[in-house]
Amino acid sequence: MSAKPSNLQIDSERLWGAIHETAQFGATAKGGVRRLTLGPEDKQARDWFRKACETAGLEVHVDALGSMYALRKGRDMSKLPIGIGSHLDTQPTGGKYDGILGTLAALEVVRTLNDAGIETEAPVCVINWTNEEGSRFAPAMMASATYAGDYTTEDIWSRTDAGGVTVKEALDGIGYRGDEPVGARKLGAFLELHIEQGPLLEAENKTIGVVERGQGIIWYDGRITGFESHAGTTPMPLRRDALSSLAEVALAIEKIALAHAPQAVATIGEAVIANPSRNVIPGEIAFTLDVRSPDAAVMDALDRDIRAAIADIAGRRRTEIGLAQIWRKPPTIFDGKLVDAVQAAAAELGYSYRRITSGAGHDACNVAGVIPAAMIFVPCKDGVSHNELEDATQADCSAGANVLLHAVLAVAGVAT
């Protein structure tokens, strides 16, 4: 018997149970998760997810970059499936919700439809995108970007981690290099539920973020070359200290981002001194730089100002500073109709909501380039994410999953 779709709710306990069950794969002592993409813990989570999807009657397909597509048939199989999902990988010191919520909420939507005996017009496809985080292999969101045609599969297969392992080797290592060509599984739309990863919803006491835009992102690899010499014998004015240069670079970048606030953020997330020793002046440092803005013109201005500051610092400090752009993702504008469908679902369910711009990158931002896409945000505690302390309430996660469910019902249509 069919439940009345307008009254339908997901099973909050089952969703919460799934989140906490999968959090054991890579669980850290501080209550977070370390589940680097294509590592053994990622395989455990993927295997769990595959089994849960198959038990829910879905047909699981894996593409050549390891992204997983679990298909629930619709009444009209000539219609393109509505994709829902997110990612199962985490940061090295990540939390239990970033990505996992969206993937497991998508599974929960299907479980709820099954229990209620609801057939949708269009098929529904639950997706786990490979390597959203980008911390083991760069760039982030490489599988959805390839899906959208931004890279070739061969290019992404050849990317290496810090230990020289290629993406292709890592996929084979866990048995998740599938047969399906990346991008072959056409979708009619894509919806992703995610924690906000920022402070706005919580501060304004809103349950749902109706995401209408995403920030643009530039990633750089930087290198500072100074001169290694003796810490005790080299007079201060004669030094060419790579670390002191980096310190100036970090402060200059902070000042430039602040000058464009709130339209810009910039972060040096990694810095590694080559051959470090406490009595050697650092001669070589590799660092990363992540620069973001929702405005493409501001991204250009940041790039220009940062390069000018770096040239000045290098000249004054007699060091060489190289900055290579390795990735540029323009700002995202999500599909107006789909964004409206998310807002209508939130309103019908009686949740408080606001329109919001995503500060983080998401797979939905990539696929938005080729199909209609939108996102749903729910609050996380103190806006903290990419941290083991990341936290969200069961009520908010369930509210987000209910909005996802009702947006799916509206977009996929209910068979009569």
Measured from each CB, the residue nearest to Mn ion is 99
- Minimum distance from CB of 319 to ligand GLV (Å)? 28
Of the pair 52, 140, the CB lying nearest ligand GLV is at: 140
- Report the interface residues with Mn ion, using CB under 5 A: 98-99
Handedness of CA 154, 133, 40, 103 (dihedral sign): negative
Smallest distance from ligand GLV to CB 28, Å: 18
Shortest Å distance, C-beta 89 to ligand GLV: 10
Q: Is 70 in the site for ligand GLV (CB under 6 A)?
A: no
Asked if residue 133 binds ligand GLV (CB under 6 A), the reply is yes
Question: CA-CA distance, 125 to 110, in Å (whole number)?
Answer: 9
Distance CA 246, CA 266 (A): 14
- 65 and 182 in contact (C-beta within 8 Å)? yes
**CB of 85 or CB of 123, closer to Mn ion:** 85
Q: Minimum Å distance from CB 242 to Mn ion?
A: 30
Q: Which amino acid, one-letter code, is at 223?
A: R
Nearer to ligand GLV, 120 or 197 (CB): 197
38, 100, 122, 140: which one contacts ligand GLV (CB under 6 A)?
A: 140
User: Using an 8 Å Cβ cutoff, are 219 and 325 in contact?
Assistant: yes
Enter the tokens of residue 23: 């959090």
Nearest approach in angstroms of CB 129 to Mn ion is 9
CB nearer to ligand GLV: give 91 or 398: 91
What residues pair up with 27 in beta bridges, in sequence order? 33
| DSSP-based three-state secondary structure for 286 | strand
> Which lies closer to ligand GLV via its Cβ, residue 112 or residue 358?
358
Neighbour count for residue 203 (Cβ, 10 Å): 11
Round to the nearest angstrom and report the end-to-end CA distance of the chain.
12
- Coil, strand, or helix at residue 333? strand
What is the CA 223 to chain-centroid distance, rounded? 26
CB of 140 to ligand GLV, least distance (A): 5
Q: Which residue is nearest to ligand GLV (CB)?
A: 360
85 lines the binding site for ligand GLV (CB under 6 A): no
Instruction: Tell me whether residue 98 or residue 248 sits nearer to Mn ion (CB atom).
Output: 98
Q: How far is CA 49 from CA 219, 267, 371, 413, in A?
A: 31, 33, 25, 26
CA distance 153 to 146: 7
Closer to ligand GLV by CB, 330 or 413: give it. Answer: 330
Count of residues of this chain found to bind ligand GLV when the rule CB under 6 A is applied: 4
Choosing among Mn ion, ligand GLV, none, which partner's interface includes residue 361 (Cβ < 5 to 8 Å by kind)? ligand GLV
Record the tokens describing residue 292, joined without a space.
């973001």
33 lies in the binding site for ligand GLV (CB under 6 A): no
Residue with tokens 């069950």: 21
Site for ligand GLV in 355-384 (CB under 6 A): 360-361
Nearest CB to ligand GLV, comparing residues 41 and 363: 363
Angle at which helix 167-174 crosses helix 40-55, to 10 degrees, equals 60
What's the rounded Cα separation, in Å, for the pair 273 and 254? Answer: 21
Would you count residue 264 as binding ligand GLV (CB under 6 A)?
no
Report, in Å, the least distance between residue 146 CB and Mn ion: 17
Whole-number minimum distance, CB 332 to ligand GLV, in Å? 12
Q: Phi/psi of residue 45, each to 5°?
A: -65, -40
Using CB distances below 5 to 8 A depending on partner kind, what does residue 140 bind out of Mn ion, ligand GLV, none?
A: ligand GLV
Residues that bind ligand GLV (CB under 6 A): 133, 140, 360-361
